[in-house]
A and B are shown apart, each in its own frame.
Chain A
Amino acid sequence: MKFIACTLSRTTSLWIITAAFLLLHQSGSAQETGDHQYTSAAIEAGSRVYVQQCALCHGPQGSTVDGIDLRLGEFRNASSDDDLRNVIAMGAAQGRMPAFDLRPEELDGVIAYIRAGFDPEGVAVRVGDPVRGQSLFKGEGACADCHRVGGIGPRTAPDLTEIGAIRTPAALQRALLDPGSALLPINRPVRIVTRDEEVITGRRLNEDTYTVQLIDSEERLRSLVKADLVRYELSETPTHEPTSLSSDEVADLIGYLLSLRGL
């Protein structure tokens, strides 16, 4: 992990780097995320199908059926894209949701439109099976090595128990495929050397002009006075590499993360 040194009264250099990165990233994201997403043509086609077939009951914003908000990804039973396909093709709720006979590309389009949050210019992330995603989280994905869910796992990285309620599918996908562009500033890893030569690594929880609060690598809550520090460095790189999981596996993992909505 590469660290950059910052003066204690921070300079603007880090900012310029990240701002430039953000701008570059926005223009390049379509290619990078490729087969993890539905195409904009699919979203657009889906918007037409939605208006003709779905809006009558679900409303223009997808929120007129009790307990369902299609735009915000709140469904009664479905979670993955395949679940949605089934519900649309087979019907549900004792016939109150009728079965629709759509061509495969129309079906994909409607799901893309829903996943894009009803935004024809939005990003529609593929969402897979949460059960398969859960095993990837613990196994091959190695997420559980650092992240905690439901009271199990280490506390050094952010706890993900509520992550599905506070992140969009697109943000979760970014965090997996291009962690550098998704790492929130407060979560940048810190490396600190105190005046009595203790080296502390960890993750910030809060900071002000004179002090910093963090959780260190031993999971201890620390509050440090900056005047007592000889080095205070923020990492410019995130703690993990872009995932090597396949696009289907990433979709499954996102399905699992979206199911984590707290207690």
Chain B
Amino acid sequence: MNIKHYVGVVLISSGLIQAPIAVSQVPYERILAAADEPQNWLTYNGGYSSQRYSLLDQVSPANVENLELQWMLQNQVFGAWQSNPIIVDGIMYVTERPNSVMAVDAVTGRVFWKHRHTPAENALVCCGANNRGVAVLGDRVFMGTLDGRLIALDRINGMPLWNVEVGDVNLAYSVTMAPLAVKDKIMVGVGGGEFGIRGYVAAYDAETGEEVWKTYTIPGPGEPNHDSWEGDDWEHGGAPVWITGSFDPELNLTYWGVGNPGPDWNAGQRPGDNLYSDSVIALDADTGELSWYFQFTPNDAYDYDSVQVPVLADIEFNGEATKVMMWANRNGYFYVLDRVTGKFLLGKPYVRVNWSSGLDENGRPIPTPQPEGMPTYPGNQGGTNWYPPSFSPRTGLFYFSAWQDYATIYRPEESEYVPGRAFLGGGFSVLAPVQGAPTIGIGRTNPINNWTDEVGHASLKAMDPQTGEPVWEYDQFDVSDSGMLTTASDLLFTGGREGYFHAIDARNGELLWKVNLGGQIVMAPVTFMVDGVQYISVISGNALATFALRR
């Protein structure tokens, strides 16, 4: 008997070798019924309605304190790790900066394969080389890239199958969002709102990479609402789409949050409502045709991107069964919309708001711009931002990270559009208690919080969509860019820039368990199950940590 053979016999007889993981297909029908297989996490937000709610309940308020670390995957690239893993039958697909995809054994954290796409050197993004994850469909994985491309990879060996241009990298188009797979199409939007792009959502044939439809977020000449822009402002008016949308299969509508108009801070330079910037748009899944839109912030001067995740639910609202969309917007207001028609149902401020004195009966804000040099609430990063919220059908509550007591002083300036260059229209500073004091940046690069809660802090809000009021709140000393995960056992998992990973009782906001992972949590946790064990994964700093109950 040779040694190789001997080792094999021992391992097999001691049960240490697992059965090979069968890679099964992920047809559209499986994604459509994602809620029926809570052991997997099949889309960026866990399913087409983007509730980030899982039916798994093995981990519960009664045993959550027994969570223990199972494995960690260390990122080899520094910078905010905003990726959202997808889990299919025991295999996790997660991206790494700038544009790598890894297939990981979800039980051990060991990597099967890694594909690295090196973006073109002139790729330009405003806020870091971010990538927020992949989509899966069939036997393929799909990733957008910083240099404005969409790539299809073989899910089993990670080899590229096609690679197509979504937007011109020379004009600063980029893709940072996880794509959305609907039927036989892969949909993405483009980033570049700080560089004078003209935004759009486009759909590609999953088989060939061919473009099927493309819908601009700024209507061209002859199209409805083109007159919400003057002159040639529409050609470089921004309105990017950089966060994954949602899908209602019954209505056959996809929903997308649209970002800021450009230049960001000088609204006077682009008169008009600037549609469909800072709006949600409902697009036909087959043709991309616009069904309806709702604009949150007309003629925005504050960079209030409406790139939040459209969260869909069928709830009783005002005593009637209603297909709603819930939305905590960067502009400081929480909204409930009818997602069939886009009709405004409810809107209330959830943080201090002074750029507007309220919403009219159609949900249009009444503007109250602040005098020059005075602070605007909420500040430039918004009352909330792209961090994925969660809706629990069990509690009926909508959970999200808000930035409280945070304000910005804007300095608008005239700027000239130069293709492929920053198009910002001035600048801003964060309001600080004393001149020159440290303030919050886009991400955390220092383990010391010397800006303190006096320049802003996090408040996790559990909103009742019936009233637009929080039922409970959970404050943190620092701000938080963490998303949310809820489960059928009424647990809420979330984090923050301080690096704590929290398990909170979704019903009442009671802290049940926490662990200091030490690095900023700037994405949402996910949960899945393999061989009867429920796992919860979260990215903190440069590490992806996976927990399960102590066995």
Contacts and interface: CB of A to CB of B under 8 A. Distances in A.
Interface of A: 9-10, 12, 14-15, 18-19, 21-23, 26, 167-168, 171, 174, 181-186, 204-210
Contacts of B432: 22
Interface stretch (B132-140, B238-246, B435-443): B435-443
A207 B451 contact: no
Interface string B41-62: 0000000000000000000000
Interface of B: 374-375, 404-405, 431-438, 447-455, 457, 475-478, 496, 498, 500, 514
Given A10-B453, A15-B454, A184-B450, A208 B434 contact: no
B449 A209 contact: no
Nearest to B373: A26
A168 B436 CA distance: 9
B435 A174 contact: yes
B451 to A, nearest CB: 7
26 contacts: A9-B475, A10-B475, A15-B433, A18-B434, A21-B433, A22-B432, A22-B433, A22-B434, A22-B435, A23-B374, A26-B435, A181-B435, A182-B434, A182-B435, A184-B438, A184-B450, A185-B451, A186-B450, A205-B448, A206-B447, A208-B477, A208-B478, A208-B498, A209-B498, A209-B500, A210-B514
Contacts of B477: 10, 207-209
A183 B434 contact: yes
B433 A19 contact: yes
Contacts of A18: 433-434, 454
Nearest to B447: A206
Contact of A19 (B375, B448, B450, B451): B375
A210 B431 contact: no
A181 B436 contact: no
Contacts of B475: 9-10, 209
Q: Is the interface of B mostly helix, strand, loop or mixed?
A: loop
Q: Which of A10, A183, A208 lies at the interface centre, i.e. has the most chain B CB atoms within 10 A of its CB?
A: A208
A171 B435 contact: yes
A232 B496 CA distance: 23
B454 A185 contact: yes
Contacts of A21: 433
Given A207-B452, A209-B478, A167 B436 contact: yes
Nearest to B404: A12
Contacts of B454: 14-15, 18, 185
A206 to B, nearest CB: 5
Contacts of B433: 15, 18-19, 21-22, 185
A185 B498 CA distance: 18
Nearest to B437: A184
A183 B434 CA distance: 7
A75 to B, nearest CB: 22
The 9 A-B residue pairs whose C-beta atoms are closest, nearest first, are: A18-B433, A185-B452, A208-B498, A186-B450, A209-B476, A185-B454, A209-B477, A206-B448, A9-B475
Nearest to A226: B477
A217 B192 CA distance: 51
B201 to A, nearest CB: 38
Given A18-B434, A204-B452, 5 more contacts: A10-B457, A18-B433, A209-B475, A209-B478, A209-B496
Q: Which of A21, A168, A181, A206 lies at the interface centre, i.e. has the most chain B CB atoms within 10 A of its CB?
A: A206
Nearest to A204: B452
B508 to A, nearest CB: 16
A204 B451 CA distance: 11
Contacts of A15: 405, 433, 454
